[in-house]
Chains A and B, each alone.
Chain A
Amino acid sequence: MNNIFSSGHFERKCSVPARLARGLVRHKVARYTLLCTLFFFLILAQPGLISSQELRLDVEEHVLRNGLKILTLERHKSPTVSLRIVYKVGSVDERPGITGVSHLFEHMMFKGTKLFGTKDWSIEEPLLKREEELVVALDKERGKGEAADQGKIKAVEAELEEVRKKLKDEAVKDEIWSIYLSNGATGVNASTGEDATFYYCNLPSNKLELWALMDSDRMKNMVLREFYSEKDVVMEERRLRTETSPFGLLFEQLKAAAFIAHPYGWPVIGWMSDIQGLTKEETKEYFTRYYAPNNAVIVAVGDFNTQEFIKLVEKYFGDIPAQPPIPEVETVEPKQMGERRVYVEYEANPMVAIAYHKPQVTDADQYPLEVIESLLARGRTARLYKTLVEEKRIAVMVRAYAGASKYPDTFYIFATPRYPHTTEEVEQAVYEELNKLRKEPPSQWELEKVKNQLEADFIRGLDSNSGLADEIGFYESIAGWQYINIALQRIKAVTAEDVMRVAKKYFAKTNRTVATLVKKKEEAAE
Chain B
Amino acid sequence: MRHKKMGLALTMKLRVPHPDLRIRQSIWSIFVLILFLAQPLYAQHGHPTEETPLVKPASPGARLVSQLHFKPLEFTPPKAQRKVLSNGMILYLLEDHDLPIVNIMATIRTGSIYEPAEKAGLASLIGIVMRAGGTTNRSAEKINEELEYIAASVETAIAREEGSASLSVMKKDLDKGMEIFADILRKPAFPEDKIKQKREEVLEGIRRENDNPANILFREFRRLLYPSHPYGRKVEGYPDTLARITREDMVEFHKKYFHPNNILMGIAGDFDTQEMLNKLEKLFKDWPKAEVSFPNVPPVQEEFHKSVNYIYKDINQSNVVLGHLAIERTNPDYFSVMLLNFILGGGSFASRIPEKVRSEEGLAYSVYSAFQTPRDKGFFFVNCQTKAESTCRAISLSLGEIEKIKEEPVKEEELVTAKDTFTNQFVFLFTSSSAIASHMVNIEYQGLPLDYLDTYVEKVKAVTREDELRVAKKYLHPNNYILLVVGNQEKFDKLLSEFGKVNTIELKGVD
**Contact, CB under 8 Å: B33 / A20:** yes
B16 near A: Cβ within 8 Å?
A: yes
Chain B residue with the shortest CB-CB distance to A417 = B204
A237 near B: Cβ within 8 Å?
A: yes
B208 near A: Cβ within 8 Å?
A: yes
Interface size on A, residues (CB 8 A): 152
- B-binding segment of A132-140, A202-210, A334-342, A497-505: A202-210
**Contact, CB under 8 Å: B10 / A380:** yes
**Contact, CB under 8 Å: B38 / A4:** yes
**Contact, CB under 8 Å: A213 / B26:** no
**Contact, CB under 8 Å: A245 / B17:** yes
**Contact, CB under 8 Å: B236 / A12:** no
Q: Per a CB cutoff under 8 Å, which of A119, A172, A181, A230 touches B362?
A: A230
B262 near A: Cβ within 8 Å?
A: no
- B-binding segment of A58-66, A76-84, A144-152, A276-284: A76-84
- Which A residues, 33 to 50, have Cβ-Cβ distances below 8 Å to chain B? 33, 42, 44, 47-48, 50
In the assembled complex, 30 residue pairs joining A and B whose CB atoms fall closer than 8 Å, in A order, are A2-B39, A9-B209, A12-B37, A17-B17, A17-B29, A18-B8, A21-B29, A44-B98, A48-B97, A78-B77, A78-B427, A78-B430, A119-B59, A178-B350, A179-B62, A192-B26, A232-B363, A233-B365, A234-B365, A236-B387, A237-B365, A247-B18, A268-B23, A396-B205, A397-B14, A416-B204, A418-B200, A418-B201, A452-B149, A453-B148
**Contact, CB under 8 Å: A115 / B60:** yes
Q: Known pairs A2-B41, A461-B4; list 17 more (Cβ under 8 Å).
A: A1-B442, A2-B39, A13-B37, A25-B18, A172-B59, A174-B355, A179-B65, A181-B417, A204-B73, A206-B71, A244-B316, A246-B212, A399-B8, A418-B200, A461-B1, A463-B99, A463-B101
**Contact, CB under 8 Å: A239 / B98:** no
Chain B residue with the shortest CB-CB distance to A455 = B151
Please report the C-alpha to C-alpha distance between residue A419 and residue B204 in the assembled complex, in whole angstroms: 7
- Which B residues, 230 to 289, have Cβ-Cβ distances below 8 Å to chain A? 233-236
Known pairs A396-B205, A460-B101; A177 contacts B348 (CB<8 A): yes
Please report the C-alpha to C-alpha distance between residue A183 and residue B218 in the assembled complex, in whole angstroms: 33
Name the A residues within 8 Å of B39 (CB-CB): 2
In whole Å, how far is A160's beta carbon from the nearest beta carbon of chain B? 15
B332 near A: Cβ within 8 Å?
A: no
Band of interface residues on B: 35 or more
Please report the C-alpha to C-alpha distance between residue A174 and residue B348 in the assembled complex, in whole angstroms: 10
Please report the C-alpha to C-alpha distance between residue A519 and residue B454 in the assembled complex, in whole angstroms: 54
- Which A residues, 326 to 375, have Cβ-Cβ distances below 8 Å to chain B? 347-349, 351, 353
**Contact, CB under 8 Å: B151 / A456:** yes
B489 near A: Cβ within 8 Å?
A: no
A307 near B: Cβ within 8 Å?
A: no
Name the A residues within 8 Å of B493 (CB-CB): none
Name the A residues within 8 Å of B421 (CB-CB): 181-182, 184
Name the A residues within 8 Å of B235 (CB-CB): 6-9
- Which B residues, 47 to 65, have Cβ-Cβ distances below 8 Å to chain A? 48, 53, 55, 58-62, 64-65
Q: Per a CB cutoff under 8 Å, which of B75, B162, B385 touches A79?
A: B75
- Which A residues, 452 to 468, have Cβ-Cβ distances below 8 Å to chain B? 452-453, 455-457, 459-465, 467
Known pairs A188-B32, A192-B24; A3 contacts B75 (CB<8 A): no
Please report the C-alpha to C-alpha distance between residue A110 and residue B236 in the assembled complex, in whole angstroms: 40
On B, residues with C-beta under 8 Å from A are 1, 3-8, 10-12, 14-30, 32-34, 36-41, 44, 48, 53, 55, 58-62, 64-65, 68, 70-75, 77, 97-101, 124, 132, 144-145, 148-152, 159-162, 168, 170, 197, 200-201, 204-205, 207-209, 211-215, 217-219, 222, 233-236, 313-317, 319, 329, 347-350, 355, 358-366, 370, 372-374, 385-387, 416-417, 420-421, 423-428, 430-432, 434, 442
8 tightest Cβ-Cβ pairs between the two chains A and B: A184-B424, A232-B362, A8-B234, A21-B29, A456-B151, A23-B26, A229-B362, A115-B61
Known pairs A116-B62, A182-B424; A22 contacts B372 (CB<8 A): no
Name the B residues within 8 Å of A130 (CB-CB): none
Q: Per a CB cutoff under 8 Å, which of B16, B73, B358 touches A397?
A: B16
Q: Per a CB cutoff under 8 Å, which of A1, A8, A50 touches B100?
A: A50
**Contact, CB under 8 Å: A460 / B168:** yes
Please report the C-alpha to C-alpha distance between residue A224 and residue B507 in the assembled complex, in whole angstroms: 44
Please report the C-alpha to C-alpha distance between residue A247 and residue B11 in the assembled complex, in whole angstroms: 14
Q: Per a CB cutoff under 8 Å, which of A32, A241, A377 touches B4?
A: A32
Name the A residues within 8 Å of B58 (CB-CB): 119, 172, 175
- Which A residues, 245 to 283, have Cβ-Cβ distances below 8 Å to chain B? 245-248, 251, 267-269
Q: Per a CB cutoff under 8 Å, which of A112, A187, A246, A412 touches B211?
A: A246
> Which residue, B17, B24, B215, B349, has most C-beta atoms of chain A within 10 A?
B24
